[in-house]
Amino acid sequence: MLDFLPQSVLNGLLNVNMNYVYELRLRAEKPTRINYQGSFCYLSAYGLTEFSEKAIRCTLEEIGDCVFRAGECSVYSVEEQIKKGFITAENGVRIGLAGEYVFDQGKPLALRNFTSLCIRIPHEIKGCGMEIYQRCMSDKVKNVLIMAPPGLGKTTILRDLGRIISEKTGKNVLICDERGEISAGLTGETCDVMKFADKATAFEAGIRALRPEVMITDELSEEDCKALQKAVFGGVYVLASAHFSDIRHVKAPFMGLFDRFVLLDACVIGKIRGIYDEKGQVIG
């Protein structure tokens, strides 16, 4: 799954329990950091360390080689992803990219000379969405928005909710997987997956061609809400996530689309901090 990493990093990870590794940060000529059980420390040749001077340091060339290998040795094959600042490698591993953007008439043309990688490692946690299902959808499926800052388990929960809804209701579920992360695991027998399409394309084409009863998507922005409106107003239920850290930050048009808002705890991965109704009033 992580074969694209430099050998020094792979050797260091041999001394680490990968079940607790959520993220790796590789920066050229700087200490490698690792998110382990929700907290950052450093990765050394012998595993975890609190000391930056003992950490593995990748070269600029190694960073570039990682991108090349993650793109299956052809950066051109993932060119459109790179323009958006990421690559999705095998098994849903998402690699955020930092480097030099090249623009043409105000639009990103390319990203090159990579200097940093943010590698998010997906985990299959069966049952992690059950509490949300029971508290929000035990009577019927609803439009639900899961909210939290990055890296707190939103995508993992969405994946599990797709499986749960499929198993418990038999409804046709369409996963609109723009970055190839949600579908990296068990998705349920009645789930369909549309990868690497922007939300406007996925929702329009998906509704027309696949007739879903439930649609799931990740990292919703205000600009994406227009695409969701057609689904919701057309009777399709939508489960999504968004980067909000408090219910007070949620404004229209989100408030007009969702029946339930689930806020995750900012300190504990996957823990529910509060559940709110369509008006933003706490209900649990």
- Same-domain status, 142 and 257: yes
Contacts of 253 (CB under 8 A, 6+ apart): 222, 225, 226, 229
* pLDDT value, residue 82: 86
Q: Mean pLDDT across the chain, nearest whole number?
A: 92
39 falls within a domain:
yes
Asked whether residue 52 is domain-assigned, the answer is yes
Same domain, yes or no, for 66 and 37? yes
Going by C-alpha positions, the residue among 50, 48, 91, 89 that lies closest to residue 71 is: 89
Domain holding 150: CATH number?
Answer: 3.40.50.300
The mean pLDDT of 9-15, rounded to a whole number, is 97
Q: Is residue 51 assigned to a domain? A: yes
Which of 61, 87, 120 delimits the end of a domain? Answer: 120
Q: Is the peptide bond before 253 cis (omega within 30 degrees of 0)?
A: yes
- Do 200 and 149 sit in the same domain of this protein? yes
* Predicted local confidence at residue 76, as pLDDT: 58
Is residue 79 a part of any domain in this protein?
yes
- Is there a domain that residue 172 lies in? yes
Give the count of beta carbons closer than 10 Å to the beta carbon of residue 5.
Answer: 25
- pLDDT digits 0-9 by tens, 259-272: 999 999 998 889 99
Residue 110's H or E segment, with its range, is: strand 107-120
- Is 141:113 a contact under the CB 8 Å cutoff? no
283 within a domain of the structure (yes/no): no
Find, among 147, 153, 150, the residue nearest to 239 by Cα. Answer: 147
pLDDT at 84: 86
Which residue has 């690792």 as its token pair? 34
Q: Which of 47-56, 79-88, 202-211 has the highest mean pLDDT?
A: 47-56
Q: Does residue 81 surpass a pLDDT of 90?
A: no
Q: What is the CATH number of the domain that holds 75?
A: 3.30.450
142 class by beta-carbon count within 10 Å (0-12 exposed, 13-18 middle, 19+ buried) = middle
Cα–Cα separations (whole angstroms), residue 69 to 17, 27, 231:
24, 17, 38
20 and 78 assigned to the same domain: yes
Among 16, 25, 100, 112, smallest CA distance to 71 is for: 112
Do residues 86 and 67 both lie within one domain? yes
Range of the domain at 20: 7-120
Buried-state track 29-61, b at ≥16 Cβ within 10 A, e below 16: eebbbbbbeeeebbbbeebbbeeeeebbebeee
> Residue 150 domain-assigned?
yes
Tell me: do 151 and 252 sit in the same domain.
yes
Condensed to tens digits (0 to 9), the pLDDT of residues 38-65 reads: 899 999 999 999 999 999 999 999 999 9
DSSP string for residues in 83-98: HTTEEE-GGG-EEEEE
pLDDT in tens, 17-45: 999 999 999 999 999 999 999 899 999 99
What is residue 79's predicted lDDT score, i.e. its pLDDT? 83
Is residue 125 included in any domain, yes or no? no
User: Domain check: are 17 and 92 in the same one?
Assistant: yes
Do residue 205 and residue 99 come from a single domain? no
Q: Closest by alpha carbon to 146, among 6, 29, 230, 261?
A: 261
Domain boundary among 66, 85, 120: 120
Tell whether 163 and 76 lie within a shared domain.
Answer: no
Domain boundary among 120, 146, 166: 120
Indicate whether 231 and 270 sit together in one domain: yes
Count of domains for the chain: 2
Q: What is the pTM of this model?
A: 0.84
pLDDT score for 147: 97
Please tell me whether residues 217 and 90 are part of one structural domain.
Answer: no
